[in-house]
A and B are shown apart, each in its own frame.
Chain A
């Protein structure tokens, strides 16, 4: 039964991901007083891309062809670590958060190589900038998770979520706030959202992720787009399960799971509204201010780790 729920959770994360991107852009459109595209549009786009032709530059090797597939595979694997409605996931009790972070890194490594394989300047530019951002984002990402795991005395994500579930909202400590701040900043950077990267631009001065995937088309592009939507959804779900898991079904029952699912939808909606707000209010940072942004995230996460010694007593 738990396995069924775990598979269900993974399916929610993977299949619901385009909807999350769709809703975020819809909210952004509303904030900008536009009608906006339908929230189902990402599904239509992915379906359309899957039907289209896949073009490959003549200079490219197998790395270019395989990069989107590896990216998709690693993203799916990362999903298996993230709880949604039940404090467990397919691999969450077997493996810890280091796996989650490094499995994502594997996909990014291959996508950057694929970008360089295209042989154009844009791919190199995107890969080079992505290298900078992901290099600097890795330390705060891990340190933020380390802080929570020290408090919970568990390294596996299921254990961390379980620990938070057993506490109440008023027990939040400085560590939680600091860790949440740094992880939220990291999520913005990792998923290529606004102050760091603009997901809607195709202007060479500013683009990072879009620069990397410029040479991809058809099904390959569909996989890349889908994978980045899944990554956004999974990281939002990770934030929810680490910092606000209350309402998750701790016992296995249909009603409990249904209620938890509804509550999850409410929580993820709040996060999506916040994300859309941040993206609408904040201006994109100049490339060389991004290190400052991530430096602040690193400092905050380091503080979170230091504070664990005080909070534990």
Chain B
């Protein structure tokens, strides 16, 4: 009975996102129809959340086969891993959709609004297809749709040459990545004879070692492109900031996670680990992405680009956990491998929550001030208290401060690094504990960056008249953000709710893994810490006396202006200075008029980062392709006889091939 009702509920989710809602939106332009469609989207995601929760916390499983209707085997199913990611998608989708109601209403006309909602709905469906697919074909269909629909959402926002260029780069890199994913699926084919996940899993032990390496590397590159690990991240800071904020929230918060899902599926479920260098490759990729991602983020003052770079950083942290898990797996330490995998998966969920909250916050800011440039903001906390507080919670979470959810997963990652010292392998004994330092540096830089973001955008005095006259976001926007902020706090203070099912999830993926002690101990201590901190803070807050308003002392000047505050650029200057070898900045100081340098009328200063992956890594590759294309152009003579000759030659060649094959 329960199985049937779950199947019906899941079918309802697919049908309403894939058919009902888009059809209603496209067919009818009335307000009521749209309201119905939006309710359908939100409602079906709530239903989806319960389905996922039943499969994640409970023992339920689910399988739906559509192979009768499709040319290739197409089936969806929910095991614990899929249920976890479905849970993630639905948890984020509901608040984002609620936020989007007032955001889309404000930003788009009647005509475009329906289309964007239809895309939104289909985009959600494509991501759900990816994480619930149980055949390779279904996975790849979802994977392609996801790319195309997100590109569509970006183009909905506007149309300019620059935007089209960015979308082009996005699509190009996505398809290169997708090619690698397709190839890694097809490499299984000679051994499994079908792309059914169960078949692949069963066939995986007979795949020879060389092919396994190839599959792993292709999956690493393919999913790495989607996840945005450095140096495959090029598209991420271009594509994410230019999408509408709710779409950015979904792209950064959820779409990147499907790549993590794919990688976990391949590396753990299909391949079951491998030699320890697999782990080190992932570990190094994670460390580089984490460090460079946060360093690039700190130099930004466009809020959405900054957040996009932080996605690179957080993907790096997730990959640190995955890499550690692979190292442990190769060293036959299943319990520790489970610990690291739990850390990575939990960070995936946490990042989905706080990153989408941050992007929604950016949306609320741009809604109120029409800009996301930090240098134009300031003083928003007093004007938008709910948005500000939700944003602050997200900042604390992403930095990994205790009492917030980011800390739980970072702590688990730290502990799995520390556990590396018990392995019998000297390389692991040295490398893993040293990674504590790398993650600490990443965390420290992230803290600096978010002090800057929150301090400059929300605190102090407003730096422009738009910021001065900002008003609080509308009710639905606040509602969406509050839901996500509550989720961050809930996981931060009561992590046990998620850690127990995650432990049983890893037991499926990693044979022989027990429940790591750390997952139990953190759930025990966090409430104590919360009690002490909140208790002492509350006592001091209650006992201190009333405060009086008094202007800040202006060092003798009559009035402080907002131009005297530290700006975002000034705040990050010391860090940019220390890490200048990473940025290799090209600084330019122009004083006008040039003949009187000591009495300037205007001074302009520019500092551009010159380290570029385009130049060093991509340019030779692109040149190669372009020159190959030029060579191929010779085939295109325009002469019809020559084309006939091609056909004739092909025919002859095929026949010859057939003759000699016998």
Q: Does a CB–CB distance below 8 Å link A and B in the complex?
A: yes
Give the B-binding residues of A (Cβ under 8 A).
Answer: 53-66, 68-70, 72-74, 76-77, 80, 91, 94-96, 98-99, 102-103, 105-106, 108-109, 112-113, 115-121, 123-125, 127-129, 131-132, 134-143, 146-147, 149-150, 153, 155, 215, 218-220, 223, 287-288, 291, 298, 301-302, 305-306, 308-309
Contact partners of A147 in chain B: CB under 8 A: 433
Count residues on chain B whose CB falls below 8 Å from chain A CBs.
Answer: 81
Inter-chain CA distance A150–B436, complex, in Å, is 12
Q: Is B647 an interface residue (CB 8 A)?
A: no
* Stretch touching chain A among B10-18, B360-368, B529-537, B591-599: B529-537
Q: Mark B406-435, 1 if CB is under 8 A from A, else 0.
A: 010001001100100110001001100110
Provide a sorted-by-A list of 25 A–B residue pairs whose CB atoms are within 8 angstroms.
A56-B547, A56-B550, A59-B379, A62-B381, A63-B458, A69-B540, A69-B541, A76-B532, A94-B521, A98-B414, A102-B400, A103-B533, A113-B451, A116-B566, A120-B560, A121-B566, A127-B571, A131-B575, A134-B444, A134-B447, A140-B437, A143-B437, A143-B440, A220-B547, A288-B577
Nearest to B544 among chain A residues (CB) is A219
B458: shortest Cβ distance to chain A, in Å?
Answer: 8
B525: shortest Cβ distance to chain A, in Å?
Answer: 4
B17: shortest Cβ distance to chain A, in Å?
Answer: 39
Inter-chain CA distance A218–B524, complex, in Å, is 37
Inter-chain CA distance A154–B552, complex, in Å, is 49
Q: Is B279 an interface residue (CB 8 A)?
A: no
B355: shortest Cβ distance to chain A, in Å?
Answer: 18
Q: Is B629 an interface residue (CB 8 A)?
A: no
> Do B544 and A95 touch (CB < 8 A)?
no
Contact partners of A109 in chain B: CB under 8 A: 396, 399, 401, 447, 450-451
Nearest to B537 among chain A residues (CB) is A73
B540: shortest Cβ distance to chain A, in Å?
Answer: 4
Nearest to B404 among chain A residues (CB) is A106
> Do B578 and A132 touch (CB < 8 A)?
yes
Inter-chain CA distance A58–B554, complex, in Å, is 13
Q: Is B73 an interface residue (CB 8 A)?
A: no
> Do B570 and A150 touch (CB < 8 A)?
no
> Do A94 and B448 touch (CB < 8 A)?
no
A108: shortest Cβ distance to chain B, in Å?
Answer: 8
**A120, A125, A298 interface centre (most CB from chain B within 10 Å):** A120
Give the A-binding residues of B (Cβ under 8 A).
Answer: 379, 381-382, 385, 388, 392, 396, 399-403, 407, 411, 414-415, 418, 421-422, 426, 429-430, 433-434, 436-438, 440-441, 443-445, 447-448, 450-452, 454-456, 458-461, 521, 524-525, 528-529, 532-537, 540-541, 544-554, 560, 562, 564-566, 570-575, 577-578
Inter-chain CA distance A55–B460, complex, in Å, is 16
> Do A132 and B574 touch (CB < 8 A)?
yes
**B407, B434, B438, B455 interface centre (most CB from chain A within 10 Å):** B455
A130: shortest Cβ distance to chain B, in Å?
Answer: 9
The contact of A102 among B402, B421, B450, B560, by CB within 8 Å, is: B402
A56-B548, A74-B533 provided; 12 other pairs, C-beta below 8 A?
A: A94-B525, A102-B400, A115-B455, A120-B565, A124-B565, A132-B578, A138-B441, A141-B440, A150-B433, A218-B547, A288-B577, A305-B434
Inter-chain CA distance A288–B573, complex, in Å, is 11
Inter-chain CA distance A83–B433, complex, in Å, is 25
> Do B529 and A77 touch (CB < 8 A)?
yes
Contact partners of A60 in chain B: CB under 8 A: 459
Inter-chain CA distance A120–B528, complex, in Å, is 37
B428: shortest Cβ distance to chain A, in Å?
Answer: 10
The contact of B448 among A80, A131, A141, by CB within 8 Å, is: A131
Using A72-B537, A117-B460 as known contacts, say yes or no to A65 and B415 having CB atoms under 8 A apart.
no
Inter-chain CA distance A106–B401, complex, in Å, is 6
**B533, B570, B572 interface centre (most CB from chain A within 10 Å):** B533
Contact partners of A301 in chain B: CB under 8 A: 437
Nearest to B574 among chain A residues (CB) is A132
Contact partners of B458 in chain A: CB under 8 A: 61, 63
A297: shortest Cβ distance to chain B, in Å?
Answer: 11
Inter-chain CA distance A57–B564, complex, in Å, is 15
> Do A131 and B552 touch (CB < 8 A)?
no
Nearest to A143 among chain B residues (CB) is B437
B299: shortest Cβ distance to chain A, in Å?
Answer: 14
Q: 8 closest A-B pairs (Cβ-Cβ)?
A: A124-B566, A116-B455, A135-B444, A73-B537, A131-B448, A73-B536, A61-B381, A117-B459
Contact partners of A143 in chain B: CB under 8 A: 433-434, 436-437, 440
The contact of A127 among B385, B430, B549, B566, by CB within 8 Å, is: B566
Using A61-B381, A91-B529 as known contacts, say yes or no to A121 and B564 having CB atoms under 8 A apart.
yes
> Do A146 and B433 touch (CB < 8 A)?
yes
Nearest to B403 among chain A residues (CB) is A106
B496: shortest Cβ distance to chain A, in Å?
Answer: 14
**B400, B460, B562, B578 interface centre (most CB from chain A within 10 Å):** B460
Contact partners of B541 in chain A: CB under 8 A: 66, 69
Contact partners of A112 in chain B: CB under 8 A: 451, 455
> Do A135 and B533 touch (CB < 8 A)?
no
Nearest to B294 among chain A residues (CB) is A135
Contact partners of A223 in chain B: CB under 8 A: 540, 544
Inter-chain CA distance A112–B448, complex, in Å, is 9
Inter-chain CA distance A155–B522, complex, in Å, is 13
Nearest to A64 among chain B residues (CB) is B459
> Do A59 and B382 touch (CB < 8 A)?
yes
Inter-chain CA distance A129–B433, complex, in Å, is 28
The contact of A116 among B426, B459, B552, by CB within 8 Å, is: B459
Inter-chain CA distance A137–B440, complex, in Å, is 9
Inter-chain CA distance A125–B536, complex, in Å, is 29
> Do B529 and A99 touch (CB < 8 A)?
yes
Contact partners of A61 in chain B: CB under 8 A: 381-382, 385, 388, 458-459
Using A61-B381, A103-B529, A142-B437 as known contacts, say yes or no to A132 and B448 having CB atoms under 8 A apart.
yes
Contact partners of A219 in chain B: CB under 8 A: 544-545
Contact partners of A149 in chain B: CB under 8 A: 418
A73: shortest Cβ distance to chain B, in Å?
Answer: 4
Inter-chain CA distance A149–B578, complex, in Å, is 30
